[in-house]
Each structure stands twice: as C-alpha cells, then as structure tokens.
Amino acid sequence: MRALRLLVIVLGVLLVGGTLALVGAIIVRSQHGAESRAAAPKGMPYDTVLDLPAGAVVQTLQTAGERLIVHIALPDGRGEIIVLDLDSGARRGTIELRRNAAP
C-alpha cells in the first residue's frame, strides 16, 4: 500500500513537471521563431519601384500566392490592376479596367 502511494505521487510529479516543460518549450520556441522571421523576411532580396501615372491612387494591395496585386484608380475614372512577383519584384502584368457603354 505504501509503495502504491509513493508510485502515484512520483507519477503525478512527473506528469506536472512534463506539462510545465512542454509549455515552457512552446513559449521559448514561439518567441525565438518570431524574432528570426522579423530579422530576415522571406522573398525580399530586392528594392522595387512601382511607377504610377500622375494622379493615380492605390485602392488596395493584396497577396495571391507569390504575387502582389495592386489595384489603382486613375484620374480619368478608369482603373488598373498591376500584378507583381513577390520573389523578384518584377512586374508580371497589368489589367486595364474599363466600363462598358450602356446600350
């Protein structure tokens, strides 16, 4: 009976200690991972300039996989969507947005 009580106490201490060690390891790794991601962002080995027409306004920015989608409004009322490659910064294409004339 005495040995059983000692076994239960030892196993309880091991269970609590293991749980605390697991929580501590998760906290340490999550803090270390955030620092390494902030120090070296993936896919940003370049400086890129996106020339916009005079008077153009950026409406939205959105990522789509390895692409950056830039929606701009032009001063004449039209719009454009510019697609950039996030790995290289290269311009992949432009989509011109036009309104159809009412019939």
CA angle 93, 53, 65 (to 5 degrees): 30
**pLDDT at position 40, please?**
45
The 8-class DSSP code of residue 25 comes to H
pLDDT tens for the chain, 103 residues: list them: 899 999 999 999 999 999 999 998 888 888 765 555 454 455 555 677 888 888 999 999 999 888 999 999 998 888 999 999 888 888 899 999 887 766 6
Helix H or strand E encompassing 35: helix 2-39
**CA–CA distance from 45 to each of 27, 32, 63, 87 (Å)?**
30, 22, 17, 8
Contact 71, 84 (CB under 8 A): no
**pLDDT at position 42, please?**
55
